[in-house]
Structure 1
Amino acid sequence: MCRVVDLQQAVLARNDESAHTLRTTLAARGTTVVNLLSSPGSGKTALLEHELRLARERSLPVAALTADLATENDAVRLARSGVPVKQVLTDGLCHLEATMLARHLEGWLPDPTRLLFVENVGNLVCPASYDLGETLRVVLASVTEGEDKPLKYPTAFGLAHLVVVTKTDIADAAGFDEAAFRANVRQVNPGVEVLLTSVRTGNGLGRLLDRALTAAEHGPGHRPVMARQPHLHSHSHDPQPHDHPHDHERTSVPARP
């Protein structure tokens, strides 16, 4: 077991070095990374599309990179906003890593880009342990996922600079207990801000973009109490070290509408 943990620590240490380099490189060109994490179906693509559209209306230079296991659906949707979008197809890989992000940005990221939104693979386990060189880490959860989500995924929520609740227009129908959710968030990440949003009603739209701009100017504004611990990145279904091969990645850039 110690050998497995040591290898995981080495993998994450290499990623941390790459993330630091990427963060420094992007900061030098005036680009801030916003890393979006959530379970599949949380509504983060719909919310991000609206935030990107708003950024374009404000003449803010933004771009988005979205990762998916098998389809280009999210990139096609995001491209409707009219901002530069790139799709990364991971072919089953459950997360992005800093070196992967850097490779896909090389020669593509428009200059200048003030904010780069990275829509991570829909997963609250694997991506939580990997720093992508982001300044702002956002974890999203829909009202249909249950109030105990933060307790089930303490690493993801515990390392967030911002928590966003989506689909609040159906909160009553879903029986969502906002107070219980907030209490569970506080238990794993005291002091983190929780935003309530609904793409259908417009509630909270634009606040994610505002927080991203604030982070670009002044930093994330919230320092999670939890420290990132490599040994938390483990999979009960795989007793071997979690060190995926990455030679099967594919990328594509959807045509602008």
Structure 2
Amino acid sequence: MPGMSQARAVKLEADILGENKRIARHNRQHFEAHGVTALNLVSSPGSGKTTLLCATIEALKARAPRLAVSVIEGDQQTSFDADRIRATGAPAIQINTGKGCHLDAPMVAEAFARLHDHDHHHDHRDHHDARSLLFIENVGNLVCPALWDLGEDAKVAILSVTEGEDKPLKYPDMFAAATLMLLNKTDLLPHLHFDVQRCIEAARRVNPAIEVIQLSATTGEGMGAWLQWLEQRMAAPA
């Protein structure tokens, strides 16, 4: 900013991130108290996040009909994606960030409270201590969301095969922060020059522990592995 010293700018950034971490800790405690497994879905624009999310919700309805699933949807403008999610029957709260390139913990806290206010979410500890799922679909951006803890259980990075296989090396902070990489749109591989193994190796160069699932939300290939990962994540101790 004009007229602001570098030291002042660094202090402001530290203060903002510090306050975000405090609220993220509160979110994490709140989610756990309500039996919620919260996942932060991150990707670049056009990776197929919303299509995958809709397909996941529909598949979970068939696989685990008693499981409660809700969504916090982040976009700079419009409510198109939230409308698509609501069409599946899952409650969705839209957050429009305007010029903002990421969600932050206060936004998520306010949206989660609105889920309660609208009776979209309940304390599922009443049902044999079953957990529920909260998907947080972040703004399409592989840079800024890497820095911001929302209180999630894990970050899930979605990478489409229509993107470059070197994306993990170009945006290492995001893939280093992710627990899982979903390699999406694999049905398009016969039409593309995309080296799957090279992409996986790139992701594991920046994050040796990252898990990888290849899938297609369109054909359903690999969805079983993704649903199994979700079940294991919900069953894991907090």
TM range (shorter): 0.7 to 0.9
Q: Secondary structure at the match of 1:127?
A: helix
TM-score by length of 1: 0.81
Match of 1:177 in 2: 195
Match of 1:67 in 2: 74
- Structure 1 stretches lacking a partner, 5+ long: 221-257
Superposition RMSD in Å? 1.5
For residues 55-204 of structure 1, the aligned pairs below 5 Å read 55-57=60-62, 58-59=64-65, 60-109=67-116, 110-112=121-123, 114-204=132-222
Match of 1:233 in 2: none
Counting aligned pairs with the same residue, the percent is 41
- Figure out how many residues of one structure are paired with residues of the other and give that number: 220
CA distance in 2, matches of 1:207, 1:9: 39
Q: Which runs of 4+ in 1 moved over 6 A?
A: none
CA distance in 2, matches of 1:68, 1:137: 17
For residues 5-16 of structure 1, the aligned pairs below 5 Å read 5-16=10-21
Provide Cα deviations, 1:136-189, integer angstroms capped at 9, x if missing partner: 210011001111100110111111000001111111312110111011001100
- For 1:94, the aligned partner's letter is C
- Alignment partner of 2:227 out of 206, 209, 218: 209
Higher helix share: 2
CA distance in 2, matches of 1:153, 1:219: 30
- For 1:36, the aligned partner's letter is L
TM-score by length of 2: 0.87
- For 2:159, the aligned partner's letter is A
- Structure 2 stretches lacking a partner, 5+ long: 1-5, 125-131
2:11 is the counterpart of 1:27:
no
Provide Cα deviations, 1:226-253, integer angstroms capped at 9, x if missing partner: xxxxxxxxxxxxxxxxxxxxxxxxxxxx
Tell whether the 8 Å contact from 1:139 to 1:160 is kept in structure 2 after alignment.
yes
